[in-house]
Amino acid sequence: MKIGVVDVFCGIGGLSHGFSVEGFDVIAGIDSDGSCRYAYETNVKARFIESDVTDINEQQIKKLFKQRKLSYRVLVGCAPCTPFSMYTGRYRKIRRRDSQWQLLNDFSRLVEATKPDVISMENVPRLIRHPIFVKFVRKIEKAGYTVTYKKVRAHHYGVPQRRARLVLFASLWGAVKLLPPTHLRRFKTVRDTIGRLPKIKAGQKCSSDRLHTCRKLSPQNLTRLQATTEGGSWKDWNDELQLACHKKRAGASFRSVYGRMRWDAPSPVITTQCLGIGNGRFGHPKQDRAISIREAALLQSFPKTFRFLAPREAINTTQLARHIGNAVPPKLSRVIARSIKRHLTDVSIERAVD
């Protein structure tokens, strides 16, 4: 049984990597960000197509699938979730702008036109509440698919991070069921994941791992972080260290900014801003610094062998943080892939009997 996969909005390949590891034939990934090409093609061993999804037509997708002799075709994607995310202050301002949801509409357009056997989409749970999601599901069901979706907590599947995600499946062959959680009693923790990495100081780079590097801190922010307890935040500080916004009623709701992670718990959500202590609870549990690029990648469950940069390519921390924060955690990707494989295996057995 050969299952071909095309990944729309592929980024550096967090989702594709999981499918590749699980034995799927990943044919290509499509993304408008050309800076993702090296990581995608190097790790996934598949073609990277730099293109905006709005410019992709159904004939191009069909042609990609026709390149291989396949038992089944799978189309997967993770449309950028900024419009639906609580981690952007723009959410309330843009939620009524139809143009913001065009990427999701384009994904449904490709599904309706190319009719893959199975589709899967990963996004933020908040998407479920929006009318655009209801319309999306209805379109897919009218095209002949059985749709199932579920809010998933990544740390229930071995990802060392409290990341809640929406996972949707749609199949022409019946309902796809997500595999049951594997880590309900013992979660992977920050200590499990990054506890053995060499110690570094703010602004330093590890001599044995160039991705184990973190941003500098101003003297004042260093003092602030030193005053923050493990698992704590700016609420640990005295009045002199607090920012003016923290003293306002609205500022009191941002409890995690300038915070430290806890050693013996999963990390908070690794976002595209995860290398700065002012953007969330991204302080190292014990060391006086923000987490490093390597630590962010490991907390997203990327294997240490994953190659983010060409050997002589300069490190761009902003770009790497965006690549890592936007990715689907590979461990969660593998669960999605195994769920689809189990479904199609059952379908193949039933078809053989018939």
Mean pLDDT to the nearest integer, 258-263: 94
Distance CA 122, CA 118 (A): 14
Span 227-256, pLDDT tens digits: 999 999 888 887 777 765 555 555 555 566
Instruction: Give yes or no for residue 82 having a pLDDT over 70.
Output: no
Q: Which residue has the higher pLDDT, 237 or 205?
A: 205
Averaged pLDDT score across all residues of the chain: 90
Reported pTM: 0.91
Structure tokens at 20: 């590749």
**Angle at Cα 122 formed by Cα 117 and Cα 127, nearest 5°?**
115
* Least confidently predicted of 252-261, 273-282, 309-318, 341-350: 252-261
Mean pLDDT to the nearest integer, 110-124: 94
Looking at residue 18, what is its pLDDT? 97
Q: What is the DSSP letter of 328?
A: P
- With a pLDDT cut of 90, the percent of the chain lying above it is 77
Mean pLDDT to the nearest integer, 86-106: 56
Q: What type of residue sits at position 339?
A: S
List the catalytic residue out of 10, 36, 81, 274: 81
Query: Is residue 79 very low, low, confident or very high in pLDDT (cuts 50, 70, 90)?
Result: confident
Task: Specify the pairing of strand 209-213 against strand 205-206.
Answer: antiparallel
337: part of which helix (H) or strand (E)?
helix 330-353
Mean pLDDT to the nearest integer, 155-162: 97
Instruction: Give yes or no for residue 83 having a pLDDT over 80.
Output: no
Mean pLDDT to the nearest integer, 193-218: 97
CB 96 within 8 A of CB 27: no
Mean pLDDT to the nearest integer, 10-39: 97
Residue 200: C-alpha distances to residues 49, 209, 294, 295 (Å): 37, 11, 12, 12
**Angle at Cα 128 formed by Cα 106 and Cα 20, nearest 5°?**
60
Looking at residue 103, what is its pLDDT? 80
Distance CA 338, CA 319 (A): 30
Query: Is residue 8 very low, low, confident or very high in pLDDT (cuts 50, 70, 90)?
Result: very high
Looking at residue 248, what is its pLDDT? 54
Of 147, 206, 207, nearest in space to 178 by CA: 147
Looking at residue 89, what is its pLDDT? 45
Instruction: Give yes or no for residue 21 having a pLDDT over 80.
Output: yes
Q: Which residue has the higher pLDDT, 206 or 102?
A: 206
CB 344 within 8 A of CB 2: no
CB 268 within 8 A of CB 161: yes
CB 260 within 8 A of CB 178: no
Cβ contacts of 24 within 8 Å, gap of 6 or more: 3, 4, 5, 74, 337, 341
Looking at residue 104, what is its pLDDT? 85
* Least confidently predicted of 150-159, 188-197, 232-241, 335-344: 232-241
Instruction: Give yes or no for residue 128 having a pLDDT over 80.
Output: yes
Q: What type of residue sits at position 182?
A: T
Looking at residue 237, what is its pLDDT? 81
Domains and CATH numbers, the chain: 3-182+329-353 (3.40.50.150), 190-326 (3.90.120.10)
C-beta pairs of 268-272 under 8 Å, 24+ apart in sequence: 268/161, 268/162, 269/87, 269/161, 269/162, 269/163, 270/161, 270/163, 270/296, 270/299, 270/300, 270/324, 270/325, 271/87, 271/325, 272/321, 272/322, 272/324, 272/325, 272/326
CB 299 within 8 A of CB 194: yes
Instruction: Give yes or no for residue 85 having a pLDDT over 70.
Output: no
Looking at residue 351, what is its pLDDT? 85
* Least confidently predicted of 197-206, 213-222, 243-252: 243-252
Dihedral Cα 138, 144, 146, 147, nearest 10 deg = -30
Residue 176: C-alpha distances to residues 142, 156, 184, 210 (Å): 17, 19, 22, 41
* Least confidently predicted of 182-191, 232-241, 265-274: 232-241
Is 206 a known active-site residue? no
CB 261 within 8 A of CB 283: yes
Looking at residue 11, what is its pLDDT? 96
Looking at residue 95, what is its pLDDT? 46
Provide φ and ψ at 291, rounded to 5°. Answer: -65, 155
Instruction: Give yes or no for residue 73 having a pLDDT over 80.
Output: yes
Environment class of 348 (CB within 10 Å of its CB; exposed 0-12, middle 13-18, buried 19+) = middle
